[in-house]
Each structure stands twice: as C-alpha cells, then as structure tokens.
Structure 1
Amino acid sequence: MSDRGHIKLGAFLHATGHHVAGWRAPAAQADAGVNLRHYLDMAVDAERAGYDMIFLADTLMVKPGSLDTMSRIARYTALFEPLTLLSALAVVTRNIGLVATATTTYNEPFHVARKFASLDLISGGRAGWNLVTSANPAEAGNFGGHAHPLHAERYERAREFHKVVLGLWNSWEDDAFSYDKESGQYFDPAKLHALEHEGKHFQVRGPLNAARSPQGHPIVVQAGSSPAGRALAAETAEVVFTAETDLERARAFYADVKGRMPAFGRDPEHLKIMPGVYAVVGRSEAEAREKNDQLQRLIEPAVGLSILGEMLGTDLSGHPIDGPLPDIPTTNGGKGRQEVVLALARRENLSIRQLYTAIAGARGHLTVCGTASQVADVLETWFKTEAADGFNVMPPSLPDGLTDFSELVIPELRRRGLFRERYEGSTLRENLGLPIPTFKR
C-alpha cells in the first residue's frame, strides 16, 4: 500500500461516452448531451460509488469538416454548457466534486473567476476549474475571426490568466462578511482587496463580487502535457489530467511535473496526477472483449479519420487508409496529445485504420479491457509505481460504462485497500487530500 493514501477517481462524463461510436451502443443514451435527467442520474450514481469528482470537458464550436461526416459524430455537437449543468448537479449531490473545463484562450479572467466561485458556493466547496488553452483553431471563428494564437502565446496568456483568476478569488478575506444587522455593517471594509492587475494580456481592477467558499476557492486542474503544459501545471495546478499509454512514460511524466514544483515554492504532495483510463469491463475477459468489439464494429471510416486527423492536426483523407501514417508536421493545437498518438503509431507500427481504431475510444489515453481484477491490477501498478495518484475514468458508452466500472472495479479496489469506503469530507479539497489555501494578497 502506497503511503500516498488511496487512489483518486474522477468520473469523466463525455455525454454519450468516450468511444466515437458510443452513442450507437444499444444501452447508450443517444440524446445525452441535452438530457438533464441522464446527467442527474449519473451524478447520483457516481457519488454513491464514491468518485472524487465529476469531470466535464468542453469546446466552443461544432467540429468542422465534411457535413456528412460530422452528422455521424455525437461528441461536442449538442451539449450543455458545463457550468450551467454542474450547478444543476450540485443540487442533487453533497460530496462529489464538480469540475468543468474553461479555456483561457477565448474567455476573460473575471468571467471565469466569478462563474467558478459561484459554483463553489452553490456546491458548498466542491468546484474545480480545468484550465486549458484552446487546441482547435476553429474556435477562433466564433470570437472575432482572428488568427488562432500560437502554442507559446496561448500558454503565456494562460499563465497570466491564472494569476488574475487567483487574485480575484482572493478579493475577500475568509471572515470579511459579518452580516451584522444590529450594527448595520454587511462586511468589514478592511477585509476587501481590489486586484488592480496591469499585465501584458489583461487589465483587471477587481474586486470579485463573490465571497470565498468553505474550501477557500475552487481547485485548479490542468490538462496540458507539452513542455509548456508541464511548466504551467507545476506552477498552477492542483490536479493534472494527462494522457499516457505507457507505464514508463507515465512515470517519467509524473516525476518530471512533480520535480518542477519546488522551483515554484510548491509541495509535490499538493498536486494529484490523474491520467485518463478508458476501461471496458466485463464479468469475464471474453465478455469485455465482446463489448469492445461491438463498439469497434460501429466505427465508420470517415468518422475514424476525422477524429484521428483532429488529434494530429492533419487532414488524412487523401492517404491510403490501410497504409502507413505519413510524416506529420508539428501542430499548433494540442502538442502533448499529438506526441502520445504518434508514439503509439511508431511503437506498434500501425496503419492509419489501425491507429484510428486504437484511439477511437481512448483518444490517446490508457486503455484497459478485461475483468474487474485485470483492470484493478493495472491501476494498482500505476499507482504503486508512482505513475499516477489516481485516474479519470472514461466510460466507453453511458450510462452502462460507468455502471460497469462502479459495480465491478471499485469494489475490487476496495477489497485491495486502494479506494475509500466513505468520503473524507464535504469539500473537494478534503476528499482529494489537498490543503485549503490561506488568504493571500
């Protein structure tokens, strides 16, 4: 048993599931992206199972490409805005964390600070912000049509963006509000602090018109794995969501990011690294394989090519589908994910078809297919060898994929003493074992 406590688990709810054909599975909720009851039921089930958090991704566009191809893809086509959705889920849950993605590329710091602070208060201290930079250039078309910023520029802006948001979350001291009817004083003026930020990208006066929550302020999650992403994570993140498929690469990533933290005056124990895990679980190995094969048979080639091309930042439609992957130029999108997918293709000598089939569910994340014991073996190895502090669970289709993991894998992890029996507290920080930040000016 590791001295780092228990494995942390996020439920990464990708509407209809993570497999590109997951919405076509017999048990899938095809209209999940706009079905509130679907999310309410899953949130209650995830909390009952003991997950640390619900994690929602987001995008600010409908994916570009052939209209016929895009009409066959459920991912990001019609879905709730995540903060709005999580506010609804906060009402039917009490302990589970609520984490949503908001890009620093096409948002303003004050908007992000206020919305997440509000969710944190609504939920009693369970909010988290997944800080990302926009990887897809097509988002630029919805925000003035200007050129998509270069990778380095996006991270420079993100670093300042985080600084502003953190400063706004420190507008009020913890006990600033007295609500004293007798004296007539609503708050102590000495405990209000304007930000007065003047930087390269932002000029923000402040203060924020939202108080601090029971956990101080929302946790910060970071999802980049490029060198710039690792540096930003070491400086700013409290949870890192990364994509890794190889144990030794994952251990190197873990050591690298945590090893950078002391330079920023941070304790490596105050960061939880949680790779994604795409788990297909059966009561027998044969059952798990059949579940996986069923989804793989539903992949349409044009859809597979579209998803792979998006991840690599390259249009692959003109290349032989059963031929080798061509030379791929460095992307201005998600560099870390591109590197993971290219490494997989080279390591296993995959054709284009084989590669899109391999990433159709996990999209470059760890894939495990088997019984609860087999899945738990992998998670235990990664945890105990310091490749991960926990995992973001990526169900192939929903709701059945989440149910499989909750009812089969989590009891097995508990039997091994690797997962909690009950929540440690009512805030996300308590359950993740992260300190409540003290007020800072």
Structure 2
Amino acid sequence: MAQEQVATTDENAVAPPVEESWFARISGAMRDPHYRNFYFGNILQFGSMNMQLVVRGWLVFHITGSFAALGTMSLANAIPTLFFSPIGGVIADRAPKKTIIQVGQAYNAVNAAILAILAAGFFGLQLEFWHLFLSAFLQGMVNSVMQPSRQSFISDIVPREKLTNAIGLNATAQTFMQLTAPGLAGFMIAVYSPAIVFWTMAAMYVVAVFFTARLPKHPLYAFVRGQGAVPGGAMGRGGHGRPPSGFADLVAGFKYVAHDQTIRTVIGVNFLIVVVAMPYTQLLPGFVQAVLHKGAFEQGVLQSVQGLGALGGAMFVATAAATGRGKMFLFCGALLGAGILAFSFSTSYWLSIPIMMIIGAGQTGRMALGQVLIQSYSEEQYRGRVMSVWFMEFGLVQFGTFIVGIMAEFLGPQIAIGGMAAVLLAIMCLLFVRGKVMRALD
C-alpha cells in the first residue's frame, strides 16, 4: 500500500521547468517554418535595399557631382513615405498581407532589372539622373505601401510569447545586411560595374518572392489585448464592423492611434527619438571630415562598427524576457541619446569607434522594442494602419535632418548634434521617472 502511494505521488509530481540554453532562446522563432521563410525573404530584401543605397548614391554623384542631388534623391524616397504609408496601412488591414508583400517584391525586382539595363547601356540607352530620381520616387511609393504589411505580418505567423524573439531576429537580419551588403555593392562597382549590382538586386528580389509564396495567406494568430494570442480564424478579417470605404478606414486608423493612450504614447515617444536623434546619420560624412578630419574609408569603418553594436542590441532584444519592455525601450532611447552626445563632443577618431557601437546598440534596441510594443498592444483589425503610422518615421527623419543641418550651418555640427542629443537624453530620463504609461508596458 505504501509502495502504491509512493508510485502515485511520483506520477503526479510536476517536473521542474527546464531552463533553455542561450542558443535555444535566441533561435526560438526560427524553429517555426513559416517564420523561417519570412526571415530568409527579409534577408534578401534587406540586402537589396542596402546595396541600392550604395549604387544609387554612387551613380548620382558620378553623374552630377552634386551634393544637392544626393539630398534631392533622399527626399525622393522620403516624401512618398509620409503620404503613402497610411494608405499602405489601410490596404494591410483589408487585403491579404502576403499578396501585398509579393507584389512589392516583384515590382522591386522589375525596377532593379530596368536600372541594370540602363546602367549597362543596352539597346543604346544611357542612365541619367532623372531615371534614378523617378525610380527612387516610385520605389518609395511601393515600399511605403508594402512596409506596414511586411512588419505587421510577423504577428500573424508568430504567437505572442515568441513575438519579441521574432522581431529581434528580424532586426539581426537587417543589421547583418547593413554590415555586409554595402561592402559587397562597393566591391561589385569597383571590380565589375553598377549594372552587376542591379542585376544581383533583381535576382535577390525574385528569390524573396519565392520565399514569400510559401507563407500562409491568412493570419495564424491574432492578439487580443489582455488575452494573448488566439487562432487567426477566431478573428478573421471580416466581422470587425469595418467601415465600407478605404477613406473611412484611413480616418478610423488615425482616430484609433489618437484615442488609444498606449499606442499614442509609444508612437509619440518614437517620433520624438527619430526626429531629434537620427539626423546625425545624414550629417555623418560632413562630421567625419570637419570634426574628426578623416575621409570616406574611416567613415565606412565607423558605420561598420555601429553595425556591430546594432547586432548586439538586436540579439539582446531577441533573448530578452517579455516583461518590462516599456522600460527597456526608454533605456535604449537614453542610451542612443547618451551615445550621440558623447560622439558629438569627441574629436578623436579612435575614441569615436567604441562610441559608435553604443549608438548602434541603442538605435536597434529602440527600433526592435518599439515594434514589439506596437504589435503587442494594437488590436488586430488596426495593426496594419498602426504600423503605417509607425513607418512614417522614415519621412520625418529627413525633416529633422533639415532642421539640424540649418543649426549645424550656423552653430557648428558638434553643438547642433550634441544639443539635440542632450534634449533627447533629458526627455528619456524624465519619461523614465514620470512616464507611467511607458513604464507600465510589458
């Protein structure tokens, strides 16, 4: 009898939880085949985008010899972002996101192929500045429509407990391509020609389309605030009481962002960080030359080192626990501000190298954690439109750059960049002490 009781007790005993290894935590979402296909498609797309930044900038300056032309090209991508991102959010909430992503990737492949033909001089054609400008503007429109679907798609295929890990891994892919793709593009230009870069980009986009084709057409999960993830079929795209017109959807999305305190706060804080802090990236070439007295090679080294820091920040987010993410977001914002402040007052190239690693970690942590919070706390039927507002940050950066550039012209780059960074650091510290909404977010 005693033996039977012991046996029963042993059978009913609950085994202690087994702690996962570091590798198991960081690769958690990669065990899902749908996420793997999404991840590899994103790697190819990120790689193409980073290669394009190099080859397009090189060609613009090679053709025109004008820094103003480079600035104009930047605006060609930025302006469509402000106007078409909200439209992309409406489309993401009304149409299958998989289809939207595939159409965008297919267009980018065709766009790269056309530029390759022009750059190679086929059929007696010659690449001109207006070709690059028109291409940048149209691609800005397409990517602005596609981005909300691509980013909000993660929460359709990954359960909530793996969302932080999934977005962190996605950030590592983006960072890895920031480290490798520009160098590869520069090597191809130097050894072969710009046309080879465009052909490579077109091929990468085509392969990305095939990875996207393997993704599910409809959401597998939908997040209900306070309830976690439920099967996607339980919250289909119908039955939300959605207004019948696209314009009504657009207005409803902006109203949702404006009225939801959590979403409004996260987006507002993120916009503040972007406008105040990120213009330093556009002013970096001038800063390196005027303050550090170095050239293009040293600038490339600084950007690569920043990428290493960003990789560390992304891996930290991928392995972080799904608690206290609001505080971590504020910490990353403060880290970014402190890093830029230190960089602005550094006149030593060698001292600037470790500072750039801190900046990279803060920037990537801010970006990844912000996306986690937005996707976790936004309602499923509004998520695409919320992400579209979030991605308007890429257009706002250009306007922030304009303001900081004017300040740098009159006050000098160190005071302009450092002053804005000091403001950011002070606001992040204030929010950490007094910002109850942000501090309460998990």
Q: TM-score, with normalisation over the residues of structure 2? A: 0.26
Q: Which has the higher strand share?
A: 1
Q: Which has the higher helix share?
A: 2
